[in-house]
Amino acid sequence: MMEGLASKAAVLKTVMIDATYLKAHRTATSLRSKKGAGRPTWAVIGRTKGGMNTKLHAVTDANGRPIRFFMTAGQVSDYTGAAALLSSLPSADWLLADRGYDADSFREALKDKGIKPCTPGRKSRVKPIKYDKRRYKRRNRIEIMFGRLKDWRRVATRYDRCPKVFLSAVALAATVMFWL
């Protein structure tokens, strides 16, 4: 749905990628397939220090309007979401991302697609990575998008057990807020 809207109006010279945590309500986490078997793997809810969470990965255009979403369990790394979204990234010149996406393999995959990464290097890197600091300052738009999405109670707290229902609620909220 958002892809069609994005093809008409999105500014795709620069795209951004990031992820945020969404708290899962106790009614969504009370899934047991069999006694003592734990949560089913299709639930996409993970245990973190803050409790039960889901991680929402997003790709936005330069204006902070969402183009794609992907959900993982809360404890999953940003690399996993980036790898899943990599094949469906729109053709763009630049990709802005935070330090969580600083991996040599991710940078190489972006270069293979013809996209220049604008990602600061991790503190633990031996050789520092150069990036466009002026362009990187615009990355706050994806953070603002997540903040506006979390204004919707149903998105900020996951009440749905089924991940498809929850992701469709997120997509509906994003479409109404950013594209209509």
The CATH number of whichever domain residue 133 belongs to comes to 3.30.420.10
Token reading at 154: 């149903």
pLDDT in tens, 21-44: 988 888 776 655 555 555 555 568
Tens place of pLDDT per residue across the chain (180 aa): 566 666 665 567 899 999 999 888 887 766 555 555 555 555 688 777 778 888 999 999 999 999 999 999 888 888 888 989 998 888 899 999 999 899 999 999 999 999 999 999 999 888 989 999 999 999 999 999 999 999 998 888 888 878 888 889 999 999 998 877
pTM to 2 decimals?
Answer: 0.85
**Domain tally, the chain:** 1
